[in-house]
Amino acid sequence: MDDTGIFLHSVETLRLQVDRRLVELIPLPGKEPGRLGEAAHYALLAPGKRFRPLLTLLAAEAFGVSPSRALDTACAMEMIHAASLVLDDLPSMDDARLRRGRPTTHRVYGEAAAILASVGLLTRAFGAIAGDAGLQADTRIALVETLADAVGFEGLVAGQALDLAERARRRTVAELDELNHRKTGVLMMCAAEAGARIGGASEEARRELGEFARRIGLAFQIRDDLIDVQEGGEHIGKDVGKDAGMTTVVSALGPRAARAAIETHLVAADAALARAGCDGRLGVFARSLFLGRKAAA
């Protein structure tokens, strides 16, 4: 195994730790009424890259703290992400049939159970951070507060509302960047900053980690749109061509300029990481995400 192989192997170990801890943090299926626990497991433990929790773990590590100390916070990021996907997919929103290669949660468990599972996961995210006795009370408070900001009326919730509200309108690339930032970037920033906070990073270094994650998020969204244009649904595990009526960076710029935009974001991400003055494994991880062919779940 070469260096990159060893590195990816160790990231895979972290990913498995996240999945094991996620199972522990939510109720066992069958214990809850209305297949609620089952729906929550289905939504949360679907195959995925666990990109946000890995950002948290690797950001903590970048500042010299064991990833295990950031594990519950990392899991909280994945819970929020899973909860947001369930809601985005609802009939009243994107009305999606496939997600992460499987039927969407509401198609399997019904709308009511899907919504309740989503709210349960969202709530559990805050509870898991607040209940993490391994972190100082001050740290936990700051994490809850920044996570609430990332999710709420200025964060993911606003991003989804913006997306639904102006879907028919032709957007500029700047507007698309803003939309993509609110829809996904804001939680990636939160995940990276949370890890940096647990790692004891300075406020400035935390901000740079946030900028790093923001750029990675934007690059990733463009990559997602590229794949959406170019490939079939079975390759990426979610509905393809649903964006056909919408403007994306790819449809606005064309595939070639879109690829260049990805590279611009990745270079800016590297620069932010360098300014943060932390260990470079996080950068290698981020780059590695762009080596494969499959899109983000």
Enumerate binding residues for a copy of itself (CB under 8 A).
Answer: 26-27, 32-37, 40, 87, 90, 92-93, 110-113, 115-116, 118-120, 122-124, 126-127, 129-131, 137-138, 140-142, 144-145, 148-149, 151-154, 157-158, 160-162, 164-166
Write the burial class of residue 144 (CB in 10 Å: 0-12 exposed, 13-18 middle, 19+ buried).
middle
Of 45 and 157, nearer to a copy of itself (C-beta) is: 157
Smallest gap, in angstroms, from Cβ of residue 91 to a copy of itself? 8
Q: Are 239 and 100 in contact (CB under 8 A)?
A: no
Nearer to a copy of itself, 131 or 241 (CB): 131
The distance of closest approach from Cβ of residue 180 to a copy of itself in the complex, given in angstroms and rounded to an integer, is 14
Nearer to a copy of itself, 130 or 284 (CB): 130
Residue 1 or 165 having the CB closest to a copy of itself: 165
SS3 state of residue 98: strand
Q: For 99, phi and psi rounded to 5 degrees?
A: -155, 130
Distance (Å, whole) CA 62 – CA 76: 19
Tell me the two tokens of residue 121: 């996961």
Nearer to a copy of itself, 86 or 227 (CB): 86
Q: Are 63 and 202 in contact (CB under 8 A)?
A: no
**What residues are paired with 99 via a beta bridge?**
102
Beta strands, E only, 163-209: none
Least separation, in Å, of the C-beta of 127 and a copy of itself? 3
Q: Which is nearer to a copy of itself, 148 or 271 (CB)?
A: 148
Q: Which is nearer to a copy of itself, 194 or 273 (CB)?
A: 194
Exposure string over 153-172, b if 16+ CB within 10 A, otherwise e = eebbeebbebbeeeeeeebe
Contact 243, 256 (CB under 8 A): no
Residue 24: closest CA among 128, 118, 106: 128
What is residue 181's DSSP assignment? I
For tokens 């590195």, the residue is: 7
In DSSP terms, 102 is beta-bridged to 99
For residue 22, the minimal CB distance to a copy of itself (Å) is: 13
